[in-house]
């Protein structure tokens, strides 16, 4: 069986390359948000390239009961659950049966946000171009939840940017208006696992997210 070679060394390199691609666009007072956790190291490179402030967004996947990695929907700390109706049908699961999982993931999203806000206050996004960054796009359930939550804060535009993203998922997010555009450096028709595109795709702990956000705030502070 032929094994495809990884394209990105790690999330930091992917962010540098994604930032170089996005830098050629025209932006209106941009803000870059990393989708926690793995999207934050990628977003740091994008924020540097765009000379934009870095912030964080949190969305948690609601997994299938027997296959937790299979996202049936996703939720943010506040707001409604964003379900994938087609996945619910395939899994033969009713949304009502996942109430406990929804409550648990909403609580975890709130916990993450509280911890991140200890080092990084909210960056306002109203009337600004927002770039939401993740380390990859497969089913799109968490990205969709984060994008819809961002719309509530009245940004000028919202662009989802990823180093690698399934072409069909990107097309759906554009078509349904979840994002004004979706940018992917690589957009394969079939994407089995985002991790296959990275040589180093280790877990991103809260401590790393906190360190990146704190460093970004120090860099943005007056008199630096």
Give the whole-angstrom CA distance, residue 153 versus residue 210: 23
CB 212 within 8 A of CB 44: yes
CB 137 within 8 A of CB 168: no
3-state SS class at 95: helix
Structural domain includes residue 134: yes
Structural domain includes residue 192: yes
Q: Which two tokens stand for residue 182?
A: 């979706």
The reported pTM is 0.94
pLDDT at residue number 220? 80
CB 83 within 8 A of CB 74: no
Structural domain includes residue 104: no
DSSP per residue, 10-44 = SHHHHHHHHHHHHTTS--SS-EEEEETTTHHHHHH
Structural domain includes residue 102: no
* CATH number (domain holding residue 207): 3.40.50.2020
Q: Taking Cα atoms as reference points, which of 188, 182, 186 lies closest to residue 140?
A: 182
pLDDT at residue number 2? 39
CB 71 within 8 A of CB 81: no
Q: Which two tokens stand for residue 213?
A: 């956000």
CA dihedral 164, 162, 37, 93 (to 10 degrees): -70
pLDDT at residue number 5? 56
Structural domain includes residue 89: no
* Domain tally, the chain: 1
pLDDT at residue number 15? 98
pLDDT at residue number 1? 31
pLDDT at residue number 224? 44
- In terms of residue numbers, what domain contains 15? 11-59+119-220
pLDDT at residue number 66? 84
Structural domain includes residue 51: yes
Structural domain includes residue 88: no
pLDDT at residue number 68? 85
Residues of the chain below pLDDT 50: 1-3, 223-224
């Amino acid at each position: 069986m032929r094994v495809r070679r990884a394209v990105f060394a790690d999330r930091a390199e992917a962010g540098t390359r994604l930032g170089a691609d996005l830098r050629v666009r025209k932006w209106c007072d941009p803000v870059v948000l990393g989708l926690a956790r793995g999207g934050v190291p990628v977003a740091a490179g994008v924020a540097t390239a765009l000379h934009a402030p870095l912030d964080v967004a949190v969305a948690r996947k609601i997994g299938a009961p027997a296959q937790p990695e299979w996202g049936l929907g996703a939720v943010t700390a506040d707001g409604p659950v964003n379900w994938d109706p087609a996945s619910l049908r395939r899994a033969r699961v009713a949304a009502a049966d996942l109430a406990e999982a929804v409550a648990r993931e909403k609580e975890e999203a709130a916990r993450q946000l509280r911890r991140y806000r200890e080092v990084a206050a909210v960056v306002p996004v109203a009337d600004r171009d927002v770039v939401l960054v993740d380390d990859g796009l497969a089913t799109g359930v968490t990205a969709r939840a984060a994008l819809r939550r961002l719309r509530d804060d009245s940004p000028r535009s919202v662009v989802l940017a990823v180093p690698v993203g399934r072409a069909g998922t990107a097309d759906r997010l554009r078509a349904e208006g979840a994002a004004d555009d979706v940018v992917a450096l690589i957009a394969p028709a079939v994407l089995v696992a985002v991790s296959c595109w990275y040589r180093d795709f280790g877990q991103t702990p809260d401590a790393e997210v906190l360190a990146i956000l704190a460093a970004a705030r120090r860099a943005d502070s007056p008199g630096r």
